[in-house]
């Protein structure tokens, strides 16, 4: 039951094959069983059971709130949740309890979805591995799946691999079957990166299509709530619920009228797929390159047009992204001064001493480093040289995409990450700045241009770990992008992790359990 799609489990609930309370208990038990992954910071057990019981009453009366009624979901711990701690995986907000829900959280609750808890992340979403949070690193569920253990002979407790970040907890929660969907934030790839490394679908909508109200900001001009699910159709369902204007977020836009359901048959012959030559980046693994070529070949054989395109300013994007990111971080982090909310130091010899020690104790080295560099870029003598120049380059990067899409290209096909997931012991050998530059190389240009993108898992590497590819579309063409992603999903046959209880129900005539080898338990 835990391996089903949202549509399948929603039907099971309506037909009475399982009750919302039973489903909620299954997910809670699964969370306890996979506690070693450290995917959750807070588990809202009592609230989840209460919401599940309410959903059960509605279903018994034949009056469900919507397709998500009774379905468990998880939320990254930088979205505000009423009366549930929202920590941003930091000491600064370790005791902060918001008095309201983020718009995206409220929309899911209004549909009857059941909140399981808040997921782990990099502190204030600054990182690419979910290894730099105050509550410890998140472990990739595939570290414990038999393909990885069989291919590498790895010892899970010492050779485990990272989830990617910064929404690693959300990706791990969905991949390990503790929730059917999870919210992440995506500023430079923070949902797509862990989506690719954890073998789940990760959608970053067009900037402004989904409200940011209640998302604790990292970079206001790039932050987008992301959607993590186990299938493309699930992501489409959730986007349909979350998109739309919000009076509390002035950057939201009218969503284009589009069908709420994906077409059953999608004619890929009408699609032109662009392959950006600049994305053949140094460090791209041979296996990722092979998958990239394989999927491009699938398009070509099916009758789609596939052509090489150029995004000439890509080489400058990562540097440009870091200047703009750090500048906005310096501004956003100024609110955490120990006065109104958040951690306050016991040092009170002066106001200045209280400020500085509160921030020193409340932020980790990564956050403090970004605040310092951001303030440096914003100094009067540096502003024109760094911040303004970076904004000009950002415009050029956006123009590159606009030029390509106006030339008849419908979607761009790229890798999501350079390679499959790194071992934690290897990943932490390098500093956060270097790791972020490597991990975000294919994902952050999309955020600077405000475009939609989706990462789809396509295969397992020779190490038994997921490899994902990214599709990028023009602004507000999210539905078409999702249709193309679904076409890929249907043809690659990615072997997702399944619950042992579910696989026992899926035995073939030969008695071999379908995908049993990828069971995480």
Let me know the angle formed at the C-alpha of 128 by 125 and 134, rounded to the nearest 5 degrees.
50
Considering only CA atoms, give the Rg of the chain.
22
190 is catalytic: yes
At 239, list the tokens: 């986007």
Distance CA 370, CA 351 (A): 23
The residue from 19, 143, 166, 231 that is catalytic is: 166
519 is catalytic: no
166 is catalytic: yes
The residue from 19, 179, 190, 519 that is catalytic is: 190
Distance CA 58, CA 107 (A): 18
Distance CA 195, CA 175 (A): 9
Let me know the angle formed at the C-alpha of 164 by 162 and 167, rounded to the nearest 5 degrees.
125
In the sheet with 114-119, reading across from the earlier edge strand, the strands are: 40-43, 114-119, 72-76, 181-186, 224-229, 201-204, 453-460, 466-472, 411-415, 272-276, 305-309
Distance CA 173, CA 520 (A): 12
Distance of CA 91 to the CA centre of its chain: 23
Given a contact cutoff of 8 angstroms between Cβ atoms, the answer to whether 170 and 183 are in contact is yes
Characterise 127 by phi-psi region: left (phi > 0), alpha (psi -120 to 50), beta (else).
Answer: left
Distance CA 280, CA 282 (A): 7
Characterise 160 by phi-psi region: left (phi > 0), alpha (psi -120 to 50), beta (else).
Answer: beta
Collapsed DSSP state (helix, strand, coil) of residue 82: coil
SS3 content of the chain, % helix, strand, coil (to 5): 45, 15, 40
Distance CA 88, CA 41 (A): 10
Residues taking part in catalysis: 76, 166, 190
């Amino acid at each position: 039951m835990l391996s089903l799609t949202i549509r399948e489990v929603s039907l099971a609930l309506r037909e009475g094959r399982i009750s919302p309370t039973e489903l909620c208990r299954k997910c809670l038990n699964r969370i306890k069983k996979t506690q070693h992954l450290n995917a959750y910071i807070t588990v809202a057990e009592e609230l989840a059971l209460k919401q599940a019981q309410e959903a059960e009453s509605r279903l018994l009366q034949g009056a469900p709130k919507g397709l998500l009624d009774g379905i468990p979901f998880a939320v990254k711990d930088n979205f505000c949740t009423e009366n549930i701690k929202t920590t941003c995986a930091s000491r600064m907000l370790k005791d902060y309890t918001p008095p309201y829900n983020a718009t995206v959280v409220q929309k899911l609750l209004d549909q009857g979805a059941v909140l399981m808890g808040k997921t782990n992340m990099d502190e204030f979403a600054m990182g690419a591995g979910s290894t730099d949070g105050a509550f410890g690193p998140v472990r990739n569920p595939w570290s414990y799946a038999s393909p990885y253990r069989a291919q590498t002979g790895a010892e899970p407790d010492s050779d485990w691999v990272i989830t990617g970040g910064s929404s690693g907890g959300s990706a791990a929660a969905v991949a390990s079957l503790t929730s059917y969907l999870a919210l992440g934030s995506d500023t430079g790839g923070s949902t797509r990166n862990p989506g690719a490394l954890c073998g789940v679908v990760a959608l970053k909508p067009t900037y402004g299509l989904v409200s940011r109200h209640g998302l604790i900001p990292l970079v206001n001009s790039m932050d987008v709530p992301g959607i993590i699910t186990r299938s493309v159709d699930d992501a489409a369902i959730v986007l349909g619920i979350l998109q739309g204007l919000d009076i509390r977020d002035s950057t939201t836009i009218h969503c284009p009228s589009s069908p709420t359901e994906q077409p059953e048959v999608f004619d890929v012959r009408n699609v032109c797929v662009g392959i950006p030559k600049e994305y053949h980046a140094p460090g791209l693994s041979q296996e990722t390159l092979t998958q990239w070529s394989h999927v491009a070949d699938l398009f070509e054989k099916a009758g789609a047009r596939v052509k090489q395109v150029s995004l000439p300013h890509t080489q400058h994007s990562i540097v440009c992204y870091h200047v703009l990111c750090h500048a906005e971080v310096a501004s956003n982090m100024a609110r955490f001064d120990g006065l109104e909310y958040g951690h306050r130091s016991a040092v009170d010899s002066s106001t200045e001493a209280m400020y500085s020690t509160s921030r020193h104790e409340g932020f980790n080295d990564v956050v403090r480093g970004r605040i310092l560099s951001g303030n440096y870029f914003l100094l009067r003598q540096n502003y024109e040289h760094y911040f303004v120049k970076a904004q000009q380059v950002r415009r050029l990067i956006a123009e590159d995409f606009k030029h390509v899409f106006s030339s008849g290209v419908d979607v761009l096909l790229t890798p999501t990450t350079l390679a499959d997931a790194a071992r934690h012991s290897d990943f932490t050998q390098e500093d956060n700045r270097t790791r972020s530059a490597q991990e975000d190389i294919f994902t952050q240009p999309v955020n600077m241009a405000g475009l939609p993108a989706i990462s789809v898992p396509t295969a397992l590497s020779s190490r038994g770990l997921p490899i994902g590819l990214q599709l990028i579309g023009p602004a507000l063409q999210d539905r078409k992008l999702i249709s193309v992603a679904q076409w890929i999903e249907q043809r690659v046959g990615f072997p997702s992790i399944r619950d042992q209880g579910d696989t026992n129900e899926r035995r073939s005539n030969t008695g071999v359990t379908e995908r049993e080898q990828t069971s995480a338990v």
